[in-house]
Structures are given as C-alpha cells and as structure tokens.
Amino acid sequence: MPTPDAAAAGTLTLGGDLPVTRMGYGAMRLTGEGIWGEPADPDNAIAVLRRAVELGVDLIDTADSYGPAVAEDLIRIALHTGRSDDPYGGVTIATKGGLVRTGPGEWHALGRPEYLRAACEMSLRRLGVERIDLYQLHRIDPQVPASEQFGVLGDLQREGKIRHLGLSEVSVAELEEARGHVEVVSVQNRYNLVDRGSEEVLEVCAASGIAFLPWFPVAVGRLARPGGPLDDLAASTGASPAQLALAWLLHRSPVLVPIPGTSSLSHLEENVSAAGLELTPEQLAALEAAV
C-alpha cells in the first residue's frame, strides 16, 4: 500500500481562494460515546489530530455540537499555533452550528438568528480565531424561515467573522434557495459507496464548483463480507474495503472531499493511504456494480 500522504489526493479550492487537500479529517469521533462528553483518552485524541496534519491533512471538519464543544476544544489544544496571523499553520478548520444536544445521540435543529450568531461567536472563542475559514449551517431549522438563517450567516460573513459559508444535509431546492442569499462554497451531505441518495446534490455541486464533503464516507457493510465484492477487490489490490470506499469517492468527482473520522491512529493512517490508491477503470466499474 502507498505511504500515507493526503497530498496524493490533489487539491480543491474553496471559494476561489482557499485551497485544501482532497482528503480531510472529521473530528466527530474524538468525543465520548454517543458524540457526548470528553473522550476516554484525551491524549490519544490530540495525537490523532496532530498525526493527521503530519500526514498532510489540511482540512479538519468539526462542529460545536460534537461533545458539545469538546471537539473544538481538542482541536485548539492540539493544533493552535499561538500566532494571530496564522493560528492553525495553514490548516483549515471547518466548523458548524445549528444543532443543539440534549444527551448522547440526541440532536435538534435550532436556527433562530440570535442562536446562530451566539453559536458562531462561541466557536470563534473556542477555536481561538478571529475568523472561521469555513462555517457550515449544520441543519436548516424547519421552524425558522430559511431566509433568516441564511441572512444572519451572511451578516456574520460581512462582519469578517466567517470567511466562507457552507451547508449540511440539504436538498437541491434548499441549496438553490441558500445561493439566492449567500455564496455557498461547500455542502456536507451523507454520501458513500452504498448510500448515493444525494447524487443530484453532488451533480449540482460539480456543475457549480461547490465542494462536496461526504460525511460517513466509509460505509461498506455487507459488501465487505468474506467472499463479497469488496473482499475480492481488496484481495486483488492489497487495499482494505475502507480504502477502496474512500478511493472510489476521490475518483467519483473532483469536488468530493472525504472527511473520514476515527479515534484510532492506525485507522487514520489507513484512511489517508487511500489518497494514493490508483484504481483501474475495471476496478471502478466493479465498485459501481457492487451495490
């Protein structure tokens, strides 16, 4: 297998001025069980973040609701340089607001403008920055006019507190509505080899030059069973099923930026190694047909 090196995946430029490597890292799994509370081993969580950057990952995805607040705190502890001009040493920290927590595994949309403003302000404080490079609306709250949610994010951007804006879990119609209010540079929807329900959203992103950050990018399940289609392909390539799933995403579209998350150093290196995995047209066709 290739040496772990995120740079092998190439780059994508967010908003015309923010290049990122196309193999990111998702920090959700660094928290406690149920994405709630502190990790069992904070030192390991910090080591994973630092190792990701050592491997060339320069996009770390997080959210204020991971913990809540825990993931953002860990990122600051692990990666903040202490410099006001370059607080993360060229690493883009993408965070999100718009979901609140009431317990492990419990998530609720809250998009009132005053809440979104407060959430952004708190993320700025926790991350130790004056401006968030990529701030994403975690969910559109159906109880609040979408225009009000997009509007306050646009206000925060004009105030210099947000550099670029993105959305999470949106339909094509919601994406287009948002683009009528603000410039959207990223979409973060669930998308992977076995769940392609956001195919139409991906097509719009590809046509518009919008980055697509698939969450839960490694989901192979039954395809990796002994004797299954991924098991056979893994044997012939020397790659793991997870690496094949990530490599498929990188080949699927140049706007895809996988953000696999893990709390394991070995799994982190395995995931990043997928950036250097070359697949033949026949192997890609086999992956397409495996679902």
Whether residue 194 is predicted with pLDDT greater than 90 in this model: the reply is no
CATH of the domain at 144: 3.20.20.100
Tell me, yes or no, whether 148 lies in a domain.
yes
pLDDT band for position 219 (cuts 50, 70, 90): confident
**Cβ proximity of 244 and 237 under 8 Å:** yes
Question: What pLDDT digit, counting tens, does each position of 226-279 carry?
Answer: 777 788 888 889 999 899 999 999 999 999 999 999 999 999 999 999 999 999
State how many domains the chain has. Answer: 1
**Cβ proximity of 48 and 268 under 8 Å:** yes
State how far the Cα of 149 lies from the Cα of 169, in Å rounded to an integer. Answer: 15
Active-site entry in 25, 66, 135, 191? 66
Q: What is the residue type of 4?
A: P
Tell me, yes or no, whether 9 lies in a domain.
no
Residue 59 is predicted with a pLDDT of: 98
Burial class (CB in 10 A: 0-12, 13-18, 19+), 21: buried
Residue 79 is predicted with a pLDDT of: 98
Is 66 one of the annotated active-site residues of the chain?
A: yes
Tell me, yes or no, whether 10 lies in a domain.
no
Tell me, yes or no, whether 229 lies in a domain.
no
Closest listed residue to residue 198, CA positions, set 144, 206, 183: 206
Residue 289 is predicted with a pLDDT of: 84
Residue 228 is predicted with a pLDDT of: 72
pLDDT band for position 1 (cuts 50, 70, 90): low
Range of the domain at 82: 18-219+255-262
Tell me, yes or no, whether 47 lies in a domain.
yes
Tell me, yes or no, whether 163 lies in a domain.
yes
State how far the Cα of 262 lies from the Cα of 256, in Å rounded to an integer. Answer: 19
